[in-house]
Amino acid sequence: MDKLLRRALIMAALFGFAGCGGGMTSQPSSLASQGAPAFVHSGVPVAPPLMLRAFGHKSTSGKYPTKKSLLFEGDQDEAAVNIYQTAALAKNPAPIATIHVAHGCPYGVATDKKGTIYVADNCGSGSFVGDVEEFPKGSTTLKTTITEGISYPIGMAIDKSGTLYVTGYDPASISEYPAGATSPSKVITGGGLTDPAGIALDGSGNLYIADFGATAVFELPAGGSSVTNLGLQDLGEPIAAAVDVKTGDLWETGGSEDAINVYQLRSSTSPIKTITGDGFPYAIGSENKGKPKGEIVESDIDTHAVYAFAPGSYTPFATLTNGIEQPTGLLITRP
């Protein structure tokens, strides 16, 4: 299939149900049967503002326990981040708490060493092009927002020093924010970045960027200012990435190619394992702090589910559907 056509199809499929505002283009006719029109603004696929108005912002306050590992699921249809106990995933539990985002389009979710939860809210309207929202450890109450340097954010990661990395569009970029800062200290562009989406860090602070427009995974070395295409083979439409710091393996979701690839970094550009997806693999995360270390979670926006893989396994042991509608972001960690 022609690359530009594939890109149009994946953007429509990715955000056909998303609650985001922005500029508009027509939907590819091949997707008309899905019943949800897709729109594109500056390369960022979004859905009509009507969805945002329908959800609105739900003010909420509340606490949740943080002593054990938790799964945070950013959900577009619910305009919220659902929180689950990792140990209960095999039982398909209900969320123990919910964070309602301010503008209705949660994507990447990250946490710092203080346990603060960061959510990339991708909704835009007029000159507003999304933000990053911060919620204190164990709280569902919004504390701080970051807007400077933000442009339709999707992927986020935070390194050991507290530096926040956010992928953005217009231009395709990665913005870096030192711990506690609301203005970027560095904005990285070029190097082939086209549609940077999900990102992940390894144990040495190197950043990996899944870019579905470039059909590539890029690496930003710790402290670096430019990205390098890793030249990974058999990539589908790279949407998200996760690194198991225990093994050093990189997991990549392939979107419309319906596959999850696992690569042994520094060893080979070919996947050591390809896992058949369930329709449209989207977000992915690795447990690198709590227990069990190395557990992988992956979402599928076709089946409206999150799948959990035990450390070292390529077969899911749990399927989470309770409260899941449009799972666009995942974080598994002990805050």
Tell the residue number behind the tokens 């089946």, with chain if given.
303
Instruction: Choose between 291 and 108: higher pLDDT.
Output: 108
Encode pLDDT of 60-89 as tens digits: 448 999 999 999 999 999 999 999 999 999
Query: Phi and psi at residue 50, in whole multiples of 5°?
Result: -55, -40
| Maximum distance among all Cα pairs of the chain, rounded to whole angstroms | 49
pLDDT, one tens digit per residue, over 144-193 is 999 999 999 999 999 999 999 999 988 999 999 999 999 999 999 999 99
Token pair 């042994």: residue: 264
pLDDT at 29 over 80: no
| Closest to 265 measured CA to CA, from 323, 206, 335 | 206
Q: Quickly count helices (H) and strands (E) in the chain.
A: 2, 26
One-letter amino acid for residue 222 of the chain: A
Average pLDDT over residues 36-60: 36
Domains and CATH numbers, the chain: 56-333 (2.120.10.30)
pLDDT of 23 > 80? The answer is no
